[in-house]
Structure 1
Amino acid sequence: MLGMVVTTQPTVGDLLRKWRQHRRLSQLDLSIQADISTRHLSFVETGRSAPSRDMVMHLAEQLDLPLRERNQMLMAAGYAPVYQERALDTAPMAVIRDAVRQVLLGHEPYPAIAVDRQWNLVDGNAALPLMLAEVDPALLEQPANALRISLHPDGMAPRIANLGEWRGHLLGRLRRQVEHTADLGLSELLEELLGYPCADEVPLVEHPGPGDVVVPLRLCHESGELAFFSTVTTFGTPLDVTVAELAIEAFFPANQHTTEILRTG
């Protein structure tokens, strides 16, 4: 039929070549790293050889692919996905939900959030409203995106005293995530965030100020400026796509004034 658009799914060889090049590896580099012959690797990439399920898993491991992309490579090779992807609100994930909630509650009275791969808010603790004061309620509607909330002119941005520095920090993290995952959704999010206005200079490279050991978040507050630094926690042995993509960001007070304000409510 005229006008019909035919789309073809990538083969396992296509995906293998794409990720090898994305990781900036030659066939020789990957063959040495994976302890296989360059000839065999070339045959897999060109479709002249069908890799076994174990070989697909082995090459995905050597390429450090996220679990979601490992499943895609397995399906392209004709095998069933190995890693399940269960919604966080399902019964089998109760133990994960409880673990996340325990970490969030245990961090009070300091703010903490849980986000998925796309930086959508999954959960937060009781200290979070202090950070979200004056944020447009529309930005908090599900799916509420933590990076959009942070940098949008109707979000936290007007209250961030060091917006250029914090913006550069967040965009740098997102760029590294895009580089690692090649996720189209994250790439689109990055383009969106880059379009947000910012009157402050945004450093291309994070330069520490006098006495700085981390990039602080400096937030304007009625009691005076609050300062935070953050840590990120992930599950160490994930075997589920959803679990692998969860991250908990916990904010700590960076000075005594912030500690006192948070502890007194």
Structure 2
Amino acid sequence: MQTEFGSILKEWRKVRRFSQLDLSLEADMSARHLSFLESGRSNPSRAMVLRLSEALQLPRPTANQALHAAGFAAIYPSLPEDAPELAPVHQAIATMLDHHDPYPGIAVDRHWNVVRSNKGAEMLLAFADPGETINMMDILIRSAEMELIENWDEVAMLSLARLRTEILELGGDEKLSALMQRVADLDRVKNVDLGSINLNQAVIPTILRVGENRLSLFSTIAQFGSVQDTQAGETRIELMFPMDDETIQFFER
């Protein structure tokens, strides 16, 4: 009879598109042993759960779930936002964003909610209601009928691709899936002429219209590699860089 751990293992093997042989080679174990773990005929050791979690690149919360299902304690903490242990992480985020001024920089959580921003970004996000949780995908959706993003079609297609990738990496996520569906259901997305979008450019910027200013920005996204906390470890920092002199001058003013 298949165990809870066996079910998790089999589900994630399929998510990662591994055969049992593929995964056994990746985890340096026999395919027979892997088959027994999936079917529930064998129980894993703690070391084996961790090895398989690494081979499958399980998200930290899922790795905790797999450990619990196998009868072991979780290893990745889930601390409150104000936990003293996370103070260095918050300081690192603040330092990166502040040093990036006057150009826009934001920190977002797994679901693209803005958790922190610098002055350059706050200027661009000034239309949001005070106290409102700002979601970058929600901004994309709301701007579909506006002239805020000149190359909206390109940005929307790239955003959909990123959402699909993130959902696959996480093995599914209801909130991200709902955001992706909201974007995909927009009439403007359905009417996009894919042949008119050049995805072979070296850099695909986001081109914003702010008053009389045409701002061209591209982004780099950073994520913590050694933060073990299940939530803080998923925080991403997006730093936006100018593509031309007009954009540089706008933010420096």
TM-score by length of 1: 0.87
Match of 2:10 in 1: 17
**Distance between the aligned counterparts of 2:236 and 2:170, measured in 1?**
15
**Distance between the aligned counterparts of 2:42 and 2:165, measured in 1?**
33
Q: Residue 174 of structure 2: which of 173, 184, 196 is its match? A: 184
Deviation at 1:259, TM superposition (A): 0.3
Structure-to-structure mapping, 1:201-212, within 5 angstroms? 201=192, 203=194, 207-208=198-199, 212=201
Change (3 A) 1:154 1:83: same
**Distance between the aligned counterparts of 1:255 and 1:168, measured in 2?**
23
Check if 1:141 corresponds to 2:170.
Answer: no
Match of 1:7 in 2: none
Match of 2:54 in 1: 61
Deviation at 1:207, TM superposition (A): 2.6
Q: Deviations over 1:22-61 (max 9, x none)?
A: 1111111111121111111111101111101110010010
Q: Is the 8 A contact 1:153 1:196 kept in 2?
A: no
Q: Is the 8 A contact 2:114 2:136 kept in 1?
A: yes
**Distance between the aligned counterparts of 1:57 and 1:215, measured in 2?**
38
Match of 2:40 in 1: 47
**Distance between the aligned counterparts of 1:119 and 1:25, measured in 2?**
29
**Distance between the aligned counterparts of 1:202 and 1:255, measured in 2?**
27
Q: What 5-or-longer segments of structure 1 have no aligned partner?
A: 1-9
Deviation at 1:133, TM superposition (A): 4.3
State the aligned residue count: 250
**Distance between the aligned counterparts of 1:205 and 1:12, measured in 2?**
47
Match of 1:4 in 2: none
Deviation at 1:190, TM superposition (A): 1.1
Q: Is the 8 A contact 2:144 2:188 kept in 1?
A: no
Q: Residue 168 of structure 1: which of 144, 157, 176 is its match? A: 157
Q: Is the 8 A contact 2:151 2:207 kept in 1?
A: yes
**Distance between the aligned counterparts of 2:75 and 2:31, measured in 1?**
26
Match of 1:198 in 2: 188
Deviation at 1:204, TM superposition (A): 8.6
Q: Is the 8 A contact 1:13 1:46 kept in 2?
A: yes
Query: Once superposed, which parts of structure 1, at least 4 consecutive aligned residues long, lie more than 4 Å away?
Result: none
TM-score by length of 2: 0.91
Q: Is the 8 A contact 2:141 2:182 kept in 1?
A: no
Q: Deviations over 1:205-240 (max 9, x none)?
A: 96347xx42111000122321110000011122222
**Distance between the aligned counterparts of 2:195 and 2:83, measured in 1?**
42
